[in-house]
Amino acid sequence: MRRPAIPPGEAALARLRREALMINAIAQGMLSTTADLATQSARTGAAAGGSGASTGDRLTLSAEALLTYQSSQTDKNTRNLWESQFGLTSGTQMLENGHRQVTTIEGSNLTVMEYDGDTHAPSHYLVNPPEIDRTMGEYLCASGVRQLAISETQKFGHVTYFFNGNRSGKFNDKLEDYIEIRSDIVPFEQRPWMKAAEITDAVISAIASGKYGMIRLNFANGDMVGHTGVYQSVLVAVETLDICVRRIREAVDAAGGVMVITADHGNSDDMYEHDKKGNVKMEDGRPARKTSHSLNPVPCIVYDPGFKGEYTPELKTGLGISSIPATCMELLGFVPPADYDSGVLNMK
Ligand SMILES: [Zn+2]
């Protein structure tokens, strides 16, 4: 369900500032009850020069920012406030807004959460990002493990900045290499292979070099081509990845390594819109294109040709992307930090 954008104007901005103040206060634990909320609402409304009364406007917000927000903030009051103020009821509805869509308010982007603490982008946001430290990269550097992070421009930030807990730069210049392969600047449906082969070439030589204890890479194809909704292009994108993953698998075999394959969400797995009964929706006599992320569970594959029964062959289920660091650390022979989410392996 898409919400109309808030109209530009001083009144709207004033209200936005008030909400930002209020929600930041809640996110930081300064407020805890609905009564506090009402009092603070009036106070911050006055402080920000707003009227203190809701205009009933609705905002269109970044779907991914909201999901990040929902998965990282557990404060019930904050969520309730969002639901009442902005008419949000669930992440699934927001998914229909598509990828990284943000609302423009007087030339500034608005998201639920600040997503770049270095450039303070976007200029308008409602919740401070959670502080993330002691990430896997930091632990592995402290443990002397050489690491490579590689992707093409489209997902380079995902294997570096986001992977490191919204942190710019390396933990250790001597132990880490980051490689960005420049993405093509053409519509994704016209280059569905993207830079997968180039990433694969670089990864295979990195594996063969024996230099790295851990290599993390991201193929952008499944997500970026998936967003186009062009079925034929998606077929090419996914077949490209089949070839690339096979090539990497052979390099892993030769090096005696382990490969973990997963994703943070689906996209190319679900290319048509469905109605509530699960039937494909039709549009002008054709299946209606789906251009947003799918909600299907994401598989996790641990390819371990040198498996010697160190863990049970069945992986744990029902876990999420946050289980990958502990999984990789266990495969590297470390005991993961106690406050990490459980890995997918049942270690013996
Ligand atoms: Zn996406």
Rounded Cα distance between 90 and 66, Å, is: 9
End-of-domain residue from the set 78, 94, 127? 127
Across the chain, mean pLDDT equals 75
**Could you tell me the residue range of the domain that residue 80 belongs to?**
10-127
pLDDT over 70, % of the chain: 63
Residue 77 in domain: yes
Distance 339 CA to ligand 1 centre (A): 29
Distance 58 CA to ligand 1 centre (A): 24
Distance 157 CA to ligand 1 centre (A): 13
Rounded Cα distance between 21 and 10, Å, is: 16
Which tens digits make up the pLDDT trace of 138-178? 999 999 999 999 999 999 999 999 899 888 899 999 999 99
Q: Which residue has the higher pLDDT, 78 or 300?
A: 300
| SS3 of residue 112 by DSSP | strand
**Do the Cβ atoms of 327 and 345 come closer than 8 Å?**
yes
Q: What are phi and psi of 245, to 5 degrees?
A: -65, -35
For residue 329 the two structure tokens come to 């650390």
Grade residue 3 by pLDDT with cuts at 50, 70 and 90: very low
Which tens digits make up the pLDDT trace of 174-231? 999 999 999 999 999 999 999 999 999 999 999 999 999 999 999 999 999 999 999 9
Residue 149 in domain: yes
Q: Which residues does 128 contact at the CB level (< 8 Å), separation at least 6?
A: 24, 27, 28, 113, 114
Distance 224 CA to ligand 1 centre (A): 6
Grade residue 89 by pLDDT with cuts at 50, 70 and 90: very low
Distance 223 CA to ligand 1 centre (A): 5
**Do the Cβ atoms of 60 and 5 come closer than 8 Å?**
yes
End-of-domain residue from the set 61, 95, 127? 127
Q: What are phi and psi of 173, to 5 degrees?
A: -60, -30
pLDDT of residue 166: 83
Same domain, 122 and 145: no
Residues with CB under 5 A from ligand 1 (ion): 99, 223
Distance 239 CA to ligand 1 centre (A): 19
Same domain, 155 and 268: yes
pLDDT of residue 153: 94
**Do the Cβ atoms of 260 and 300 come closer than 8 Å?**
yes
pLDDT of residue 142: 92
Q: Which residues does 188 contact at the CB level (< 8 Å), separation at least 6?
A: 194, 224, 225, 227, 228, 233, 237
SS3 content of the chain, % helix, strand, coil (to 5): 40, 15, 45
pLDDT over 90, % of the chain: 57
Over its C-alpha atoms, the chain yields an Rg (Å, rounded) of 22
Number of domains in the chain: 2
pTM of the predicted model as reported, rounded to 2 decimal places = 0.68
Distance 93 CA to ligand 1 centre (A): 15
Q: What are phi and psi of 27, to 5 degrees?
A: -60, -30
Which tens digits make up the pLDDT trace of 231-264? 999 999 999 999 999 999 999 999 999 999 999 9
CATH of the domain at 201: 3.40.720.10
Which tens digits make up the pLDDT trace of 13-52? 555 555 555 454 444 433 332 233 333 333 333 333 332 2
Same domain, 102 and 187: no
Distance 158 CA to ligand 1 centre (A): 12
Q: Which residue has the higher pLDDT, 145 or 100?
A: 145
pLDDT of residue 18: 52
End-of-domain residue from the set 127, 161, 180? 127
Rounded Cα distance between 135 and 160, Å, is: 11
HSE (CB half, 13 Å, CA atoms) of 78?
25
Q: Which residue has the higher pLDDT, 41 or 102?
A: 41
Average the pLDDT over each of 93-102, 207-216, 245-254, 323-332 and give the range with the smallest value.
93-102
**Do the Cβ atoms of 261 and 293 come closer than 8 Å?**
no
